[in-house]
Structure 1
């Protein structure tokens, strides 16, 4: 059976696959506990479960995303615990060996903020409304030797992410980069992005980055 991502749920795209490639390089085994924050369609949670992780937990604020992830895991015969909630709040009392997250990160003018499908990508005027929260709240949930894998647009400031995670006591660096053409959302935002100095006039491509941050043992 072919499972199609339902409308209103973030479907796997370039950022998903870039992060999945980084995830596949991690040492995942029968004793690994993995958390997928903002799971959307559940693609990354299913990659981790397919690699044989001992426990995979997926969290999303959207009830539709939670249902879609649960169904995809069931159809594939994989075990994934799916929780509805705001970022890391539902698992604040747990610890993980690996946390992966592809949160909303598109800079967007406040007057253009949307409900429904738009919440899958919009992230405030600088794109960091959720990124900053993850950089603050994820490090305490990592076990010694555990790692956080985070993907976002270079428009949001990879250096700032690395700086925040380093300040939280992690060893952080950009490990993956990919340049892609603007998608429909950024093309629609181009005049506003230019006027706020987030892109150069005539710019039509963005760089995606994966940051890996490891808690020292």
Structure 2
């Protein structure tokens, strides 16, 4: 796949790869309606389009939207790309599959919303600035038997994600786990993470999880 990533746009990393594996296992049928929220470079949207799905991708970043549109054009894949905050531009639709790789990195309190490049990863003190919104809003956009695939760090409380999705009536479970070396963002705030009790004293790796949540018929 040909892919460009403009400066300031989240580049595909381990979490993208892990979610792509879950997407391939889900194997959306040709014509299935797929939503990729927080698309970044568009990597997951393009992967879904290669399955023959009808894909809509959303990102709040103008640069991400430009990047995703460029990559869709370079790869000659039909993806509808919208700019907006999470589900804002697509609240009138329903989907067979929703993909989400949102910002989930815990960050010290700054008294303001993340800005610039940090919007791609910073997600408040507990890492759940957007995760809780996704758990709250995504279920209403799923068709019967529709599936949400959501990736985030174990530092951001996967138990809370499961609890919220189950409370919304979805059947939710962790379907993938992977330990990775701490990346540059986590290393830069390693001392704060340890002081906050989010990272154990001897721990130098981060666990990623993919949660699959399905709406009943």
Give your verdict on TM over 0.5: yes
Deviation per CA, 1:71-107, whole angstroms, max 9, x where unpaired? 1001111000000000011101100000001000000
Task: Describe the SS at the equivalent of 2:93.
Answer: coil
Structure 1: runs of 5+ lacking an equivalent:
none
* Structure 1 counterpart of 2:169: 169
Structure 2 CA distance for aligned equivalents of residues 74 and 8 of structure 1: 20
Instruction: Give distance in 2, aligned partners of 1:208 and 1:84.
Output: 27
Task: Show CA shifts across 1:119-170 (max 9, x none).
Answer: 1000000000000000000000000010000000000111110110000000
- Determine if the alignment matches structure 1 residue 26 to structure 2 residue 16: no
Mapping for residues 122-137 of structure 1, pairs under 5 Å: 122-137=122-137
Which residue does the alignment assign to 1:140?
140
Calculate the aligned-residue CA RMSD, in Å.
1.3
Paired residues, what number?
A: 216
- Normalised by the length of structure 1, the TM-score is 0.97
- Structure 2 unaligned runs (5+)? none
Q: How far did residue 117 of structure 1 move? A: 0.8
Structure 2: how far apart are the matches of 1:42 and 1:152? 17
* Partner Cα separation in structure 1 for residue 145 and residue 176 of structure 2: 20
Which residue of the partner structure matches residue 64 of structure 1? 63
| 1:14-163 correspondence runs (5 A) | 14-53=14-53, 55-111=54-110, 114-163=114-163
CA displacement 1:151-190 (0-9 Å, x = unmatched) = 0000011111011000000000000000001000000111
**What is the CA–CA distance in structure 1 between the aligned matches of 2:190 and 2:106, rounded to whole Å?**
11
**What is residue 200 of structure 2 aligned with on the other side?**
200
The TM-score with structure 2 as length reference comes to 0.97
CA distance in 2 between partners of 1:155 and 1:56 (Å): 30
Is this contact kept in 1: 2:150–2:210, CA < 8 A?
yes
1:171-212 deviations in Å (ceiling 9; x for gaps)? 000000000010000001111111111011132101000000
In the aligned structure 2, how far is the partner of 1:66 from the partner of 1:117?
14
